[in-house]
Structure formats: structure tokens, C-alpha cells
Amino acid sequence: MIQLGLIGKGIQRTQVHQLHQALGELCGITVNYQLLDADQEPHLSLEQRVQRAISEGYRGVNVTHPFKAEVSAMVKQHGAVPETLGSYNTLIFTDGNIRGENTDYSGFKAGFQRTFDTLKPGAVLLLGSGGVGRSIAFALGELSARQIFLYDTRPEAAHVLAGVLQAAGYPCVTVTEDTLTEVAAQVDGIVNATPIGMYQYPGIPLAKTAIQAPRWGFDAIYTPMNTEFMIAMDACGAQTMSGYELFLNQGVDAFEHFTGISLNRDAAIQFYLQKRSMSC
């Protein structure tokens, strides 16, 4: 048996424990995956939560909102991610060492290719420069996005990330609130990498009138899947990729990192979806 977990806040609606347990079943492994919800012990820091998991024999943990920005300080060994990405959502514990992986980065790339096949990202408006936004930005760069337009309600954070992306060789410029609507009307794709749209943060990160004719759209949120943003993207005829696709692909990647087992991605995802449909 292996012990895994998710550290985050307000995570009781997630399916991640079910996904990892199903993947374990597929591989003949018993997986005990716990939801380590910060709402239940709000006084604990991320470091305290991670150290507790290590002391209790966890093989590793996933980390989600609002702790992603703190993870990099804890990583002692960098995994299969671009060194300049500097963001991690998956921690693997071995012999007192903490290895960091970023399955938002790898999962987005895999999900984009599974969903859109040969479609190229083109020019993309990326809303949000936090942990998941940073991961998606690097993935878009590796998918040969022609230009990344980066917007954040915290302009300084957007400027910092844009500088990192430019240094890595990826075309990126920041967008101001004054030019946001104009840029949104011109790009090929729009990505929501903000928390807006989650159950805890209802709403839409961009005015619906600004979403006119993009070819594709993606929302990192998957609970709920039918966010206002996704509804608006569907209404304008864009091809869409939901956060659920990212959830599935990053979960497969995380399981491989935790266990060292290589999975057939399509077969693993189909196995989980079949199990879930049977339990509904």
C-alpha cells in the first residue's frame, strides 16, 4: 500500500483521491489517498503539513490552492520540469529528500494535444500568473504559442512572470486592464488560470462581451466544470478544454511520479472514467 494526499483549502469536492485509487487498482496497488484540507486545521503552515505527511509515511502529496506559491522553497531536488519554471504541485518523498514535479505543466500539454489534436495555440490571452498560470504559460511556450498575452489583477506579478518567460525564450507581453478587452477580441485562445469560477469564488474573470471569436478556450477550474467562463466560450463557438481534462492528465502524471509506473495514458483515463460512470 502507498499513502498519498492532497494539501489545499476547500478541497472536499475534489475527485483526486478517487482517481489515484482507481489508478492503483489498475496497477494492482492499494492507494490510500487522503484530503489534507486546510479548512480543518487552518493554523498549520504548508511546511508543517508536509513534515507531518513525511513523518506519517506518505510517499508524496499533491499541493493546490492556496499553497502553490510556497512549494518551491521546500523542494530539494528538481524533477522533469524546465529549471526556470520554478513551480511545483507534486512532492515525492524519498529518504528525507523532497523532489518537486509540476503535473499542471505536463498535464496541460498532454490535455491540449488530446483535446485539440494538431491545433496550435497561436496567440493566447492568459488570465492569471499564479502557480497554475505559470505552469500553463511554460506549457504554452513549449507548444509553440505565437504570443502569450499575460494579464493579472496584480500587475507586478504579471511583469515578473513575463520576464521569466522572455528569458526562457517564450514570446510574452503583459496586458493592462485598459487593453484587456481589445486583446481578448484578437487572440486565438483564452485561458482562465485564476480561482474565479470556483464554488468559493463565483463569477467570470473576463467580461462576457470581451469574448468574441477565439478558436479555443481553457478553464483550469473543474469544480464546477460549467463555469461562467466555459459557458461564454461555448456560446461564441470556441473549441473548449475543461479543467477536468487537466485534472485527469495531471493525475496520471502524478501517479507515475509517485509510483515509478508508466501508464498507457488513454487506457488509464478510460479505466477511471468507466469506474466513475458505474458508481454514479
CA 224 to chain CA centroid, nearest Å = 15
pLDDT at 159: 97
- Give yes or no: 208 in active site: no
Out of 47-61, 222-236, 266-280, the most confident range is 47-61
Mean of all residue pLDDT scores within the chain: 95
Structure confidence at residue 234 as a pLDDT band (50, 70, 90): very high
pLDDT at residue 280, as a whole number: 61
Once rounded to an integer, what is the mean pLDDT over residues 23-43?
96
Average pLDDT over residues 242-264: 97
pLDDT at 153 over 70: yes
The Cα–Cα gap between 247 and 11 comes to 13
pLDDT tens-digit readout, 161-213: 999 999 999 999 999 999 999 999 999 999 999 999 988 899 999 999 999 99
pLDDT tens for each residue of 93-139: 998 899 999 999 999 999 999 999 999 999 999 999 988 999 999 99
Rounded Cα distance between 34 and 3, Å, is: 8
Which range among 8-12, 80-84, 104-108 has the greatest average pLDDT?
104-108
Confidence of residue 78 (pLDDT cuts 50, 70, 90): confident
Distance from C-alpha of 125 to C-alpha of 210, rounded to nearest angstrom: 12
Identified catalytic residue from 68, 109, 208, 275? 68
Q: Categorize the per-residue pLDDT at 65 as very low, low, confident or very high, splitting at 50, 70 and 90.
A: confident
Residue 10: per-residue pLDDT: 86
Q: Which residues of 193-217 are buried (b: 16+ CB within 10 A; e: fewer)?
A: bbbbbbeeeeebbbeeebbeebbbb
The model's pTM: 0.93
d(CA 76, CA 195): 28
**Given this model, what pLDDT does residue 86 score?**
85
Question: What do you get for the CA distance between the two ends of the chain, in Å?
Answer: 26
Q: What pLDDT, on a 0 to 100 scale, did the predictor assign at position 66?
A: 85
Sequence-ordered list of residues with C-beta below 8 angstroms from that of 9, at least 6 positions apart, any chain? 37, 38, 39, 65, 66, 67
User: Three cell numbers at 83?
Assistant: 529549471
pLDDT at residue 255 in the model: 98
- Whole-number Å distance between alpha carbons of 46 and 62: 12
